[in-house]
Amino acid sequence: MAGESTAKDCLFVLLTGANRQPPSLTLHLITTTRDERKSHDTLSKLSAHLRQKSRKLHTNLASRVTFQAEQVDLTSLQSVHALSTHLLNTLPRLDVVFLNAGYGGLTGIDWLRAAWVIPTDLRYEITYPSYNLSAVGLTTTAQTSSGDEPPLGTVFTSNVFGHYILVHQLCPLFTSAITAQRSGRVIWISSIEGYASTFALGDMQGLAAESAYKSSKRLTDILILTSSRPSTQQYVSDFLGDGSNKSKKHEDDKREASRPDMYLAHPGICATSFVPLPFLLYWSMVLIFYLARWLGSPWHTVSSYKGAAAPVWLALALQRELDELEVDGKSKWGSYVSRGGDESVMRTEVEGWGVRGQVESLEGKELSGRRRGVRDLRMEEQERFEELGRECWQQIEELRSKWEQRLGW
């Protein structure tokens, strides 16, 4: 019974791609990386941060926070399956999952173009860069030994499909018997670069896309924003399982299964090693990011800590608050900063969806981060977006089913 009480008062959080509480709760944070070296580095940084905060707050946070490091290669479906099986057999539940891992597929920078557009249009080009170069047509290594399997796009699998399979298989851990008397939450991390022009339904994996990364983020936006619409429920219900896909450990569990709530967030623009740069160029990038913020860009969070504002808020906000905010339609929640660096959370405009799937005119803060060429939402655009969402859900569910059959799960 003591073990059950401890588990009840603990928040279980899974964070994918971790290369970098409420007072009454403890926190069990599960981080995932591709290899043990990155896991060790991540745990070292987290432990150092915890010690620093403990000294600052004059309390022993280590008694309330535990870390668990796992490895997963999201481009390998068997690796994803192995992680989900392990977690299903070792965790009592999951309260929050951050789907943060990703692969850009970037090959470099068009320096000639960058040297022209950054000085002449700094704020816009540092926010919506037109000079990044990406690989086209990258595919994963073979998922089976059959030799006749269809290709899987590397960026698509890392950013979308690997996460999609993971969430589907972890559904038994999202139960209603949790500390906050709420459903579990799955928080998909997107980007401000998910432009409508980068995605084609006939190339959902982005194999022919000029930027597979942007295509994958547009697909993420489409899937999550339309996930509460009646037109997609047939596929969303199959994906989330509705408690039907229990593991052997959980098949006798009497707790009522509960579909997790899915949310969409982005961190703004952080200075990370996503595009590897030499030392001097990296710090030049940081300086330019600050300059873009001072010029009025709301998205240059710069630090990963400020970039986490929106995802962490979605994880900890009261359920009734989120329900009220998304009663008219789901939103893409972005980490927003003022010129002085004060972080907050703001709805982000999505082409074809607006800020909540409603036809309305935007004003004030919500217009400050608008990309050029984007206009106020019209009814026919919203209807096309919802239909696109239905078609994307249908395609990705069919893809999941085919791969599960192919891999014998």
For the chain, how many residues are written?
A: 409
Whether the CA torsion 77, 217, 318, 393 is positive or negative: it is negative
State the residue for tokens 């940081």: 286
Catalytic residue (one of 213, 235, 263, 336) = 213
Kind of pairing between the strands at 132-134 and 106-109: antiparallel
Kind of pairing between the strands at 332-337 and 343-348: antiparallel
Catalytic residue (one of 84, 190, 191, 216) = 190
What is the DSSP code string of 192-255? TT--GGG--GGGTT-TT-S-HHHHHHHHHHHHHHTTTSGGGHHHHHHHHGGG-S--TTTTT--S
Identify the DSSP state of 165.
H
Residue 7: is it exposed, middle or buried by C-beta count within 10 angstroms (0-12/13-18/19+)? middle
Nearest to 36 by CA among 66, 5, 4, 72: 72
Q: Is residue 190 annotated as a catalytic residue, yes or no?
A: yes
Q: Is residue 130 annotated as a catalytic residue, yes or no?
A: no
Q: Is residue 217 annotated as a catalytic residue, yes or no?
A: yes
Catalytic residue (one of 158, 191, 217, 335) = 217
Q: Residues of 285-296 as b/e, b for ≥16 C-beta within 10 angstroms?
A: beebbbebbeee
Query: Any idea which residues carry the catalytic annotation?
Result: 190, 213, 217
